[in-house]
Amino acid sequence: MRASTFAFTALLACPFVALVQPVAQAGTKTPAYVTAAMNDSARSADRVNDERRQMATVLTFSGVKPGSTVMELLPGGGYWTRAFSQIVGAHGHVYQVWASQTKADNKNLVLWKQLANTGHYANVSVLQESLDRPTASLPVDVVFTSQNYHDLHDPSLGPVNMAEFNKAVYAALKPGGVFVIVDHIAPAGSGISDTNTLHRIDPASVRKEVEAAGFVFDGASDALLNPKDPLNIPVFDASIRGHTSQFIYRFRKPAH
């Protein structure tokens, strides 16, 4: 799988050909600050997953850079947080947004409340908020969520009012800021019918929901496509777990 944005000819063979538009960014070089963040000793345990998760490509595609402010939605174990923190540095900030219904004893939540009080992660704030209206203390440059957008449609999180959610993300961004979504692909035309069963979502539904809030589609990357994924089995199935076909979408809040 190429670590690049979709080429039009490759789209012809894709199960969601009508859903994406190519962006001419093939061959984009990984910035030195991304490489440095990935090599941070505090994330040594993460490195075994970097190639599989195409970390360098995703971080570069997101546009996060030194001094950026990032709002990360549903950060889980903090795989992305650790890299974001080191990229943005002392002049940037990372806001971790956890669902307000997350149990106070959630091991990852407890861990990050502790880590945010250390010098190494002093630029990370841990927030528990209603996901209908996620917000940060200041307007941010990037809102990012990985493998979680589909969950917002499910009973475990409410489900969330997606119109309100995407409007809140839009409001949290600076003009020109971007919303980056990585998630497991469901078959074209399936809509949101597979979010609670297969833990997948039709990319066309994501685009429709996000654009309805005023966002402009700003590109897609094929770095996590896997043609061997049949798309119709749960993401936790042993035959595909950790290797699902995923879309990477970027949406931009207009600058004016």
C-alpha–C-alpha distance, residues 12 and 34, integer Å: 32
Kindly report, residue by residue over 203-232, the tens digit of the pLDDT: 999 999 999 999 999 999 999 999 999 999
How far from 4 is each of 26, 47, 53, 180, CA to CA, in Å?
5, 21, 14, 15
- Provide, rounded to the nearest whole percent, the portion of the chain with pLDDT above 70: 89
Tens of pLDDT along 162-206? 999 999 999 999 999 999 999 999 999 999 999 999 999 999 999
How far CA 13 is from CA of 36, 140, 182, 187, 227, in Å, comes to 36, 36, 20, 13, 10
What is residue 104's predicted lDDT score, i.e. its pLDDT?
Answer: 81
The DSSP-derived string for the chain is: --SSBPPHHHHTTSTTGGG----S-TTPPPPHHHHHHHT-GGGGGGGGGTTTTTHHHHHHHHT--TT-EEEEES-TT-HHHHHHHHHHGGG-EEEEEEETTS-TT-HHHHHHHHHTTSGGGTTEEEEEE-TTS---SS-EEEEEEES-GGGGGSGGG----HHHHHHHHHHHEEEEEEEEEEEEBPPTT-TTTTTTTTS-B-HHHHHHHHHTTT-EEEEEE-TT--TT--SSS-TT-TTTTT---EEEEEEE----
User: Quick one: pLDDT at residue 146?
Assistant: 98
16-64 residue pLDDT tens: 433 344 443 445 799 999 999 999 999 999 999 999 999 999 999 999 9
Task: Please report the pLDDT score of residue 253 as a whole number.
Answer: 98
Q: If you search the block for the tokens 């595609």, which residue do you land on?
A: 61
What mean pLDDT is predicted for residues 97-117?
A: 93
The pLDDT score that the predictor gives to residue 101 is: 84
CB under 8 Å to 31, separation ≥6 — which residues?
Answer: 60, 65
Residue 27, pLDDT score: 58
Can you give the pLDDT at residue 103?
Answer: 85
CA-wise closest residue to 4 among 34, 26, 24, 33: 26
CB 89 within 8 A of CB 111: no
CA-CA distance, 253 to 176, in Å (whole number)? 5
Q: Looking at residue 203, what is its pLDDT?
A: 98
pLDDT at 66: 98
For range 124-128, the mean pLDDT: 97
The b/e string for 86-105 (b: 16+ C-beta within 10 A; e otherwise) is bbbbeebbbbbbbbeeeeee
**For all residues of the chain together, what is the average pLDDT?**
90
Confidence of residue 113 (pLDDT cuts 50, 70, 90): very high
**Beta strand pairing status for 93-99 and 124-129?**
parallel
Residue 238's pLDDT band, with cuts at 50, 70 and 90, is very high
Structure tokens at 153: 């449609």
